[in-house]
Amino acid sequence: MTLCKEYICHLIRKEGFISIAEFMAAALYHPEFGYYMQRQPLGSNADFITSPEISLLFGETLCFWAVEHYYRLHQPKKIALVELGPGRGILMSDFLRTAQLLPDFFDALDIHLMETSPKLQATQQYIIHHPRVFWHEEIAELLEAIHSLPVLIIANEFFDALPVRQFQKTSQGWAERGVIISEDHTLSFGIRDIEVSNFSFPLVKTDAIIEYCPLAEDMMRKLVHHLNQVSGAFVSMDYGYVEGYGDTLQAVSRHRYVPVLENPGAVDITAHVNFRVLKEIAGENAGIATQSEFLMKHGIVKLAQAHAHKATEADKNQLALQLYKLTSSQQMGTLFKALEVIA
């Protein structure tokens, strides 16, 4: 049993039940035992890879997106570039390498990274090269640091790792789904009664499960409020949905799905992002596209062609495969969505 699992069992014994959000918070973010706090989760030799690890085309395309907004904002002398959850720093490294082709843009950037993991922050410090890079652990600290600067905000596979609450429709009404210790002394899912007046539930069938991510909603409100005060743009790409509901909780270890409750603290645990809710919070200046649509719109094919022009045949084939993984409906192209907000 991992130390994290022992800690979670201790929490459950005190109350008899913990919510899914409490379970995720402990499993992922406990300062001593949490998955993100004690290990390097990303990479081909770790547990999962994200779009920047698949191809440099991803970070380069996001640089194209940012440059478009830099010109829309009339080339400010200073602009804050924010990345939420920068992982190993590969996206930002690819972005900045491309940005150097436009010295005025590169020099205007103040880089602000929101990262809670000491291990990942150390990796980012090694790989990201710019004269002005700042790290923050909380959204309030980040927003205070960028104060009045126009801002460009990037979030890739960030919101999926925020703890969600789950609610289940029973024959008696709504209950909260969480984690208990079963009779055989293993972790299992259970439910508890809730005060329904605190929530607004959709009309669904008995046994249906819905998810609610209060931290994502609160963070989105703060980001959009700040964006509207200073002007700029925001894009978040993640796997998620616009319509529907259900249990989307999942765990990954060594690039394979594993039982969610089996080994907390040692596996990545995420939930699909409800893009409809985030778009409603962002308001009329927000739009949702598939990842494929977003990347195509901002020039990923032209970038791939430019790289292929001076590549070996093997590298051309590799570029084609990377483009396929990022944009195909059979891969990440449609499951992953892009929420964009322009102010």
Interatomic CA distance for residues 335 and 131, integer angstroms: 36
Q: What are phi and psi of 12, to 5 degrees?
A: -70, -40
Domain membership flag for residue 290:
yes
The CATH number covering residue 132 comes to: 3.40.50.150
In the block, which residue shows the tokens 């790792």? 161
Spatial neighbors of 200 by CB under 8 A, at least 6 apart, are none
Q: Which pTM value belongs to this model?
A: 0.93
Interatomic CA distance for residues 196 and 33, integer angstroms: 33
Domain membership flag for residue 30:
no
Q: Convert the pLDDT of each residue in 287-334 to its tens digit.
A: 999 999 999 999 999 999 999 888 888 888 999 999 999 999 999 999
- The residues that bridge with 168 in the sheet, in sequence order, are 175, 209
Q: Convert the pLDDT of each residue in 71-125 to its tens digit.
A: 999 999 999 999 999 999 999 999 999 999 999 999 999 999 999 988 889 999 9
Q: Convert the pLDDT of each residue in 186-220 to its tens digit.
A: 899 999 988 766 667 777 889 999 999 999 999 99
The rounded radius of gyration (Å) of the Cα atoms in the chain is: 21
Domain membership flag for residue 231:
yes
Domain membership flag for residue 80:
yes
* Number of domains within the chain: 1
Residue 48 has pLDDT above 70, yes or no: no
Structural domain range at position 109: 38-162+213-246+271-342
What pLDDT shows up at residue 282?
A: 96
Domain membership flag for residue 71:
yes
State the SS3 of 245-303.
CCCCCEEEECCEEECCCCCCCCCEEECCEEHHHHHHHHCCCEEEEEHHHHHHHCCHHHH
Domain membership flag for residue 207:
no
- Residue with the bigger pLDDT between 34 and 77: it is 77
Q: Convert the pLDDT of each residue in 140-176 to its tens digit.
A: 999 999 988 999 999 999 999 999 999 999 888 889 9
Domain membership flag for residue 20:
no
Domain membership flag for residue 194:
no
What pLDDT shows up at residue 339?
A: 98
Percent of the chain with pLDDT over 90: 74
